[in-house]
Structure formats: C-alpha cells, structure tokens
Amino acid sequence: SFGAASSGLLTLALLVSAGDAYAQPVAPQSTATNQQLLDSFSSTPTRATFQGGETIYRSMCQGCHMPNGEGAHSGAGFFPDLRKNQKLGAGAYPAMVVVNGLHGMPPFGAWMDDQQVADVVNYIRTHFNNDYKDTVRPDDVKQFRGAR
C-alpha cells in the first residue's frame, strides 16, 4: 500500500540523512599522546611495566577505587574507600592485599614485582588524606608472596 511504502521511504531518508551526522571525522590525538599510550603497554601481557606509585595507581587501581580514592559502594561491586583509611595504617595489610587479593579484589602479585607493589602501597598510604610516615620496602613485600 501507499502508506506502508511512503513510511518505509521516510524511514530510509531519515537514516541516510542521520548517517551524515554520525560520520563526522574524529580529530586524531597528538602523536605524543599515542606514543605515550603505546609505551605504557607491557611487552609481556602478564607483567605490568608501569613504574612509580601514582602511575601504577592511575593505571591499575583507580578503575575500581576511583581517581580520588573514594571507592564505590553501589552498582557492580564494593570497592573500599581509601581516603583516611585506618586499615592502611600498617603497611603490611595493603601490601598483602595487593599481592594476594581479598574478597572481590584480584591478586596483583603475579603482575607486579615487589618494587611496584611497594610503590603503589606507599602512594595510597601518603595520598587521599592518608599520612602514614613509615614506608613499605620491596623486601617487606616478598613475605606476602604465596601467603594467604
């Protein structure tokens, strides 16, 4: 019928004209940004190559614990708030959790070496309104490998 045919033509015309709006080119990112991103990928997918506590946190932790350490308490899961967190007072506790995981947090010990674990633990213990003065050293982390 004429009504069905004209309706189909109208739909087709709308789709064709809307396609132009969605086909706008996206400005490419700068070469430096792309190179920095490429450099951040590990050459061995089972090992993290990030260095420095803040870089490790931003790359591996903030997806769950959020950029400002506020965690998340609704939606897909429970991710503890790291701000003013008294459980971080003893450096051994977060080091053990990062290496071996706890509850829903996966173990990162296989992906991170002792220096990386120490760096990210020291970062969260001195940021997000935490002010714990003692530092975790790579030698401190070794004892938690394989311990659960």
Radius of gyration of the CA atoms of the chain, in A? 24
DSSP 144: T
* Nearby residues of 5 by Cβ (< 8 Å), 6 or more positions away: none
Please state whether 5 falls in left (phi above 0), alpha (psi between -120 and 50) or beta: alpha
* pLDDT at res. 50: 72
Q: Is the pTM of this model over 0.75?
A: no
pLDDT tens, residue by residue, 85-129: 999 999 999 999 999 999 888 999 999 999 999 999 999 999 999
